[in-house]
Structure 1
Amino acid sequence: MSIPMTPAGPSSGTPALEPVAGPDAERGVSLWRGAFQRMRRNPSAIIGTLIMLLFVLVAVFAPLLTSFEPGTGEFFREVTPSKVPGPSEQHWLGLDSGGSDMWTQLVYGARQSLIYGVASTVVGLLAGSLLGVLAGGFGSVGGRVGRWVDTVIMRIVDILLSIPSLLLAVSIAAVITQDSLAIIIAIGAAQVPIFARLLRSSMLAQGGADYVLAGNALGFRKRRIVMSHILPNSVGPTIVQATLNLATAIIEVAALSYLGLGADNPRVAEWGRMLVNAQERFSADPRLAILPGVCIVISALGFTLFGEALREALDPRSRR
């Protein structure tokens, strides 16, 4: 006995199931594209991006933004024991206590902060990622040797994490020769355990995914599974953390310079050194300390806002 089939369409009263097509059809988007779309609607992300772009543009084009050289003290004769010349037509932010143009010191200080911050973050990211890949790679594939390597690396990372990052950076900078490279290595070394621990935890979380089980079942080499599949799916949180660490690096660069561990060349403009030079004249000329302090706060705030917005955009729990 056959069962009659009811034709679909307007005559039968049954709605026809037709594929949705056209520009209004909802299409899947990649992780990073979806994050970009959410960040465009986030005011914090927009503000952070604008601050970052302004900071980078000022740092890159510093020689074009001023006609003076930093740290020359060419106007020192205009500085008196009781007064530092303020804003004027020639120096629209005034002079500093050393007789240099204040605007010139600030824009070249932005360049130094950008160079030190980016370079130290890259050093910390590369070294920390290497430790994270070793620990997470061996830990995710299992085995007695893998667990042993993971344990040894993470105990070293735990020792580094037990020391405050700024104290670790100060200790390393005090041991190394006082120059620009010492600042980069010191701040980068303080960031190593953060990246190592984060990447290792991300890789271990990916180690139980279905694609890893499928790769093992198909007989793929463990190194191929780790480097070609687990690692690419684990770097997202590390990239977000690198953005946040740039804000910390800028603050630590100023802190090391403030403590006298910066570049030994007085002609190298640094925001931290400007704060030190402003101490003795703070009551009479507070702008000498307020201006570099505001620059440090705003630049760090820009990277922080952008990094937090990026983390929220990549977090599946915050998607709407």
Structure 2
Amino acid sequence: MSHALVIGEALVDIVRDAAGEVTEHPGGSPANVALGLARLGRHAQLATWFGRDERGRAVHDHLRASDVHLVPGSDDAERTSTAEAQLDADGAATYTFDLLWNVPEVHLDDDLAVLHVGSIGATLRPGADAVAEIALAARDHATISYDVNARPSIMGEPVDAESLIERVASRSDVIKVSDEDFRWLYSHLDPLDAAREWAQQGPAVVVVTQADQGSTAFTSSGLEVHVPAPAVTVVDTVGAGDSYMSGLIDALWTAKLLGASRREKLHAISEDDLRTAMRWAARIAAITVSRPGADPPTRHELEPTS
């Protein structure tokens, strides 16, 4: 059975809304991507790092309830990491982190369709170095996807993070990056110009998410595709980009464009296939922002009702 392997942080989001009410939800960007893929019916493995404490048990139960398969050793951390998310009046979140990160041993084989990495797990050492090495090794087996998902409070100054982010980007086939990520990383460049440059440096597809302005994709073959965001009432934005990422991977999987043997086809993706994938991803993200926390939809929720 072909499967996805996701490597990165799983943690607990401590969410403070504009009124000061506090709730806790299992989260972490890569963990949310694995959860989203599993809810879409994909076989998703997650290599992560959390503890066997109360919060760790909540993370474990949350992932297993959606049939995410945890790589052995993922619960060997001293404690479970947290991200405190402060919501503003519009539901947008800013984060403060207490994070531990390392990578348990993973297995790569030709049944691997896609390796997904991202966010803090791809930039916080010592785990980041292992992530970069695994991404390079996995290219012989799978498509590599990467969500930059920059977190300045953890990643430091852009000059400190740039080489780490570009190292993973250069090894990736599909990249999702927000316009805010690019503005932070390259303050001298327009985000879309930065994406055009990245798309000519190795990746097949670079997608820039632009909040309520939708998303714009650039390909190595020179395609540029924009898809507007669906109209939606936002409850909060926690997990929105992660849901978009899992939807994008799922759609490329459906189009039979994942796997090392299909890398050339991915580089030659048609405008129709790319637009379809972006619309699917945007629809999934819209459902996630319409309800609290990182709660992506199942495939059943997305199927048309008779």
Same fold (TM over 0.5): no
Which gives a bigger RCO, structure 1 or 2 (Cα 8 Å, sep 6+)?
1
Bigger proportion of residues as helix: 1
TM-score, normalisation: structure 1: 0.25
Q: Which structure would you say has the larger Rg?
A: 1
Bigger proportion of residues as strand: 2
TM-score, normalisation: structure 2: 0.25
